[in-house]
Amino acid sequence: MSHALSTEDLIDAAYSSLKDDFDPALLTTIRAPLVENYAAKEHVEAMLRQILLRILLDRPEKPVAYMIDLIKEYRPRTAVVIGPPASGKRTLAEGIANRLGLEHVCVSDLVEGMKLTQTDVGAQLRDYEEGGVDPPDELIETLVTTRLREKDCAGKGWVMDGWPRTAQQAVNLRALGLDPQAVLVVDVPGQTVEDRVAFRVLDPETNTLYHTYENPPPLGVGIRCVTRRGETSDEIIERVAKYQDRLPSVLDALGSGDPPKKKGLRTVRVDGSLPFGQLDRLSDSLAKKIAV
C-alpha cells in the first residue's frame, strides 16, 4: 500500500473542488499561509490520514456516512512499541508514525537531547552518564510525560518506543491518562538479539543506530561510530532476561494481559526476527492494525 496523502496533496484536492466558485489568483495568494498554517495548527493531516486508512480497510457500503461516524468518534491514536534490545522497535515506531501522521516519541532520543541542554535535568543526566549509572525512573518519567503532553503529541497522537519498561511505569502512565490505545509487542529470540547487538554501532553525532551488515553506516560515518554502553555480550544477555521477566507484568499493568483488562485496547504481537530490510513493509501492516 502506498503512503498516505501529503499535506500538499490534501490542500490541492481541497482547492481543486473550489475553483469554479473562487478566483484562482485569490486562491494562489491565500492558500499557502492560510491553509497550511491551519492544517498544521489543527493537525488536519494526521486526522485525515487515519480516517482515510480506516475507510480503505473497512470498505463500507456508505463511505460518507461511515466517515461522519468516524469523525464523531475520532481521537488521536496513541501506541507503544515494546520489545527487547535490538528488536527493531524504534524503526517500527518511526515507520508507523510516518504512515499515520503521528509523532514518534523515542525515549532514548529524549534523554540524549536533554543531555545537550544547559538545564538542571540535563546536568543530572550527564552526571549519571559520567558515573556509569542509569538515571532514576522518576527523572525519565518526567521527560516522557512532558513530551506526551506537548501540543503536537496531544493533537496528532503518538507512537512511543522505549517506555514503559516496568509495571510501575505502566501504572503511572495510566494514572496520568497517558496510557496507549494500542500495544505492539515485538518478539525476538534471545540469540537473534545477541547476534544483532554484536554488530550494532551508534553514530554519536546523530544518535543513529546502524548494523554493520544489514544496515551499515554511510560512507564516512562509520569511522566515528561507537559501541553503546551496556551492550557487551554479558550485559545484553542480562538485559534480555530482565525484559522477558518483566514483560507479563508490564502488559498486565497496561491492561493488555491475558485476559485483557482494558476495553478497546489493541494488542499486536510482532515478529521482530525479520531482516531489517523487511521492517518498512511490516510498518505498513502494523499501521493498518492500529488505525482509527
Which CATH number covers residue 150? 3.40.50.300
Distance of CA 68 to the CA centre of its chain: 27
In terms of domains, do 15 and 90 share one?
no
Beta pairing partners, 105? 160
pLDDT tens for each residue of 161-182: 999 999 999 999 999 999 899 9
Q: Report the domain count for the chain.
A: 2
In terms of domains, do 267 and 127 share one?
yes
**pLDDT (mean) for 203-213:** 85
Last residue of a domain, one of 72, 94, 121: 72
Residue 104 sits in which domain range?
75-290
Contact 161, 106 (CB under 8 A): yes
In terms of domains, do 63 and 82 share one?
no
Share of the chain above pLDDT 70, in %: 82
Place of cell 515506531: 93
Residue 1 lies in a domain: no
Residue 1 has a pLDDT of: 46
pLDDT tens for each residue of 100-158: 888 999 998 999 899 989 999 999 999 998 898 889 999 999 999 999 999 889 888 99
Q: Is pLDDT above 80 for 14?
A: no
